[in-house]
Structure 1
Amino acid sequence: MKWQQVTEHWNAFVPSILTRWPELDSDTVDAIEGDRTALLKEIVHTYQVPAREAEDQLAEWMEGATPADVIMDPEMDNERILAAADNIPEGEDAYDDDRRFGDDGYEANPIGRTDA
């Protein structure tokens, strides 16, 4: 991904940044608003690492997954579906019939109408 995407969609990336660097202050990260230099300075300051190491960490983080609400691109659909599989609990089949969780198979009455 490119840093411009991060800057344009900063709020979507903040949770991922806080997951990668949990000791960063969330208010400070929010206030950075996509400023790469400011984020690097914050990582260096908080984690007491050399600037080069912070650069390497940030580059590694940028190779990770882009939040789904950042890019809506049909060419990326399969990649997003595969990434979503990481959130399926162990033992659950992604292709299972989920009728037990909803009202599949039942026709819903239109809003405001009841069976007469």
Structure 2
Amino acid sequence: MRWSHVQENWSAFYEAIQEKWEDADESMLDEIDGDQRAFIRYIAEITEQDPQEAREEIKEWLAGEIPSDVVMDPSHDNHSIALSGKYVGEGEDEFADDARFGDDDDYPDDGDR
């Protein structure tokens, strides 16, 4: 993952950050607000490393996968739906109910199929 992923979804990464760095405090993460330099300084401080060592540790952490709880964060839903709009035909609404496609048995048959 790239820092931009972390920065754009900063609060969604709190759990993953605290899992990696147990001494990370949520209120301090709020103050950092996705600022990479501030995060490096903070990790250096709580791990008692010099900033270069902290930067390398963060770089290794970034080499991993985006945590699933970040990917599944509800804030991504509408963004993903909007991106899928390029596959929806002209005049159709990508946010519309898809019951007419026949894949949801909870809706009564309206005769359009």
Q: Same fold (TM over 0.5)?
A: yes
Gaps of 5+ in 2: 81-105, 107-113
Q: Do 1:40 and 1:55's aligned partners in 2 also have CA atoms closer than 8 Å? A: yes
Instruction: State the Cα RMSD in Å.
Output: 2.1
Report if aligned partners of 1:14, 1:30 keep a CA contact under 8 Å in 2: no
In the other structure, the counterpart of 1:46 is 46
**Identity between Structure 1 and Structure 2 (%):** 28
Q: CA deviation at 1:3?
A: 1.0
TM-score in terms of structure 1 length? 0.57
Q: Partners in 2 of 1:35 and 1:51 — Cα distance?
A: 14
Q: TM-score, normalised by structure 2?
A: 0.58
Q: Is 1:16 aligned to 2:16, yes or no? A: yes
Q: Quick check: which one's helix share is greater?
A: 2
Q: Deviations over 1:48-102 (max 9, x none)?
A: 10111101110011112213236777xxxxxxxxxxxxxxxxxxxxxxxxxxxxx
Kindly provide the CA deviation profile for residues 5-27 of structure 1, in whole angstroms up to 9, marking residues without a partner as x: 11111111111011101112111
SS at match of 2:71: coil
CA distance in 1, matches of 2:63, 2:72: 17
Q: Residue in 1 aligned with 2:72?
A: 69
Q: Tell me, in whole angstroms, the C-alpha distance in 2 between the residues paired with 1:48 and 1:32.
A: 18
| CA deviation after TM superposition for structure 1 residue 30, in Å | 2.1
Whether the aligned pair in 2 keeps the contact of 1:8 and 1:34 (CA below 8 Å) is: yes
